[in-house]
């Protein structure tokens, strides 16, 4: 039986994260963080955890005292790393072409950091729990024309590394080692395990047996 009573809030405007969370049957609402994304970290794993925590805590501190006790805020951040160099969202066609040109024919890493912020009744205080997942992705070699055609679709602009693995770039993906959903933007398998281990009685599926 599902004894989890907290309201789940996703601190992200990403339609991919919304879709992934909905896909596994979680009921939640979206409140988008507008906090400035700043971190002093340089390691990709720490960067995504820092930024996911920043987003989640930004929303949590804006809740009323009563809402804080009743809510679980989930923050997430994703980056692409090639040979230790972090790639965020290209934002424009020129950057997208540059990113894709550097990634084609190579293996890179996709990191997603996730932070859970909630009020712990036992200690009567706020808790932050962060983790990350890493997935290796290899793209087939792409011609200049293939890169330019893909960029003209507009799909790369708001995607870390300049591509969407679940979109039109799927035809250029050679190999994935790790969690696919992590590349999309939210490692839902790991997220479920973390929530199940943290919150007693948490289940995705309601018990419908009589």
pLDDT at residue number 207: 45
User: What backbone torsions phi and psi does residue 185 show, to the nearest 5 degrees?
Assistant: 145, -5
Catalytic residue of the set 34, 77, 136, 179 = 77
Mean predicted confidence (pLDDT) in 185-198: 93
Mean predicted confidence (pLDDT) in 17-27: 90
Strand partners of residue 126 = 119
The pLDDT of residue 133 is above 90: yes
Percent of the chain with pLDDT over 70: 95
77 labelled catalytic: yes
**CATH number corresponding to 7-198:** 3.90.950.10
- pLDDT tier at 208 (50, 70, 90 boundaries)? very low
- 151/27 Cα distance (integer angstroms): 34
- pLDDT tier at 206 (50, 70, 90 boundaries)? low
Burial category of 98 from C-beta neighbours within 10 Å (exposed 0-12, middle 13-18, buried 19 and up): middle
Read off the pTM.
0.90
- pLDDT tier at 2 (50, 70, 90 boundaries)? low
The pLDDT of residue 210 is above 70: no
* Helix-helix angle 15-23:188-198, to 10 degrees: 60
């Amino acid at each position: 039986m599902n004894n989890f009573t907290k309201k789940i809030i996703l601190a992200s405007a990403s339609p991919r994260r919304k879709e992934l969370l909905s896909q596994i049957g979680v009921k939640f609402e979206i409140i988008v963080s507008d906090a400035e994304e700043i971190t002093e970290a340089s390691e990709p794993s720490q960067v995504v955890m820092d930024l996911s925590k920043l987003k989640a805590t930004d929303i949590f501190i804006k809740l009323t005292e009563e809402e804080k006790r009743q809510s679980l805020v989930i923050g997430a951040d994703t980056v692409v790393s090639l040979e230790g160099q972090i790639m965020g969202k290209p934002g424009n066609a020129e950057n997208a072409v540059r990113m894709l040109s550097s990634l084609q024919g190579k293996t890179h890493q996709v990191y997603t950091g996730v932070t859970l912020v909630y009020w712990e009744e036992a200690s009567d205080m706020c808790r932050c729990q962060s983790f990350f997942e890493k997935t290796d992705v290899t793209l087939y070699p792409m011609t200049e024309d293939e890169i330019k055609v893909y960029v003209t679709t507009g799909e790369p602009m708001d995607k870390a590394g300049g591509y969407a693995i679940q979109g039109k770039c799927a035809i250029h993906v050679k190999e994935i080692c790790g969690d696919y959903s992590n590349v999309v933007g939210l490692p839902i398998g790991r997220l479920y395990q973390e929530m199940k281990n943290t919150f007693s009685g948490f289940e995705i599926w309601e018990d419908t047996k009589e």
